[in-house]
A and B are shown apart, each in its own frame.
Chain A
Amino acid sequence: EPEVTQTPSHQVTQMGQEVILRCVPISNHLYFYWYRQILGQKVEFLVSFYNNEISEKSEIFDDQFSVERPDGSNFTLKIRSTKLEDSAMYFCASREVGSYEQYFGPGTRLTVT
Chain B
Amino acid sequence: DAKTTQPNSMESNEEEPVHLPCNHSTISGTDYIHWYRQLPSQGPEYVIHGLTSNVNNRMASLAIAEDRKSSTLILHRATLRDAAVYYCILRDVAIYTGNQFYFGTGTSLTVIP
Do A and B form a real pair?
A: yes
Chain A residues close to B by CB (< 8 Å): 4, 31, 33, 35, 42-45, 48-50, 55-56, 91, 93, 95, 100-107
A44 CA to B106 CA, complexed, in Å:
13
Q: Which B residues lie within 8 Å of A101 (CB)? A: 46, 49
Q: Which of A4, A56, A91 contacts B98 (CB 8 A)?
A: A56
Asked whether B32 lies within 8 Å of A42 as measured between CB atoms, the reply is no
Query: Which residues, 88 to 111 on B, are CB-close (under 8 Å) to A?
Result: 91, 97-106
Per-position contact with A for B29-45: 1 when CB-CB < 8 Å, else 0?
Answer: 00010101010001111
Query: If the complex has contacts A100-B91, A101-B49, are A45 and B42 also in contact, measured as CB distance less than 8 A?
Result: no
Q: Which of B43, B98, B100, B106 contacts A105 (CB 8 A)?
A: B43
Q: Which A residues lie within 8 Å of B34 (CB)? A: 100
